[in-house]
Structure 1
């Protein structure tokens, strides 16, 4: 059964939490994704079988949580993440971030580095509002953003994305690749070479930019952005298990 957490901002966040030993694994989904996705459900079952604590939730404007997607932005979803982690978990964390969730994982690492024992990025998409959306907009789209406050972008996976001016402007205050990014714990980045949403160049840029004592990038030939076939799910499991072993060593 889905539970709900009310944040200080008055948003209702839907979540599922399963108990067990630490470190708690927290799954952070992608833009317009939800906690019922293949990776989240698979990782929950994996952790349950291992007796490891696990949390998945929907950002506001996503899935079963309150608010509209078009009212949200990176900062709102960061607030939701901090609220969920603070209220629903205790002790050390291993954060698994998919796509936009990878950016959220890095923001969480910046906000509470003392809680994180490790981070797994799956096609992590830091700074995508600026380096993906804004950088790719035509002059007409930029003008449209100014005049009507949003731009519609086609998606390979669902109905068009409505990208709002607020999302772009707030994203600029949340960028993580422009200044020091210290990740004082093991980091595992997983990236498919056939990903049309997040490029391998983005993964390499993050690898080059961040400071970490133990950071690795694994490229999977022909894997796409979903990164959810049996092979890819196995790699996610292996990364979580490895970081857990390191944390418990």
Structure 2
């Protein structure tokens, strides 16, 4: 995301965490692999051992299939109409990608990344994930919409809070062992959210994954932490950021 007039991105980042009682973990990198430092990462996921990445910025947004260990882009498809690409998710064999402010997303073939369908939704699109049945969509506010993929109708809304206070700027989402994880835009924090109550039960601080020099270079270019992929087959979490030079594997905290 970048700031634009009339967007949810205009507000200042929330001063999270609101409570020192909420558990905080600083994940340690187990492995790291090269990541395209020009990729404005908006969505990241692993499906059947393949790494998919959705990138942003108008005229530069893509859906990609990327080789994990080399960072090589095997397949890439531009986002339709040069739209600002956002979060991605797979459910029922279909690969979805949101766009920021157009209220429309694309559906891709998992094998070829060919666009096979489209979906519509109200408001902004930021992050997207799936639990195997439903989709979860963030829009930069403190609310996450639960969506039925068949028709893209909203079935429930989750109000996300920590210490009783709403946490806005929820961005990239991932379903991790029954929890919703969300990057908080413009911060180095990932919220661990109870999807039933919306309460943030813990935080991950990813600020130490990059060196100080790497963080400085990325931030001066507009980069920030964003990108969470959980591989259920191997029980590992992959983390990166917009314009980050590395993709990291970290242990799943208890």
How does the TM-score come out when normalised to structure 2?
0.32
Pick the structure with greater CA Rg. Answer: 1
Structure with greater strand percent: 2
How does the TM-score come out when normalised to structure 1?
0.32
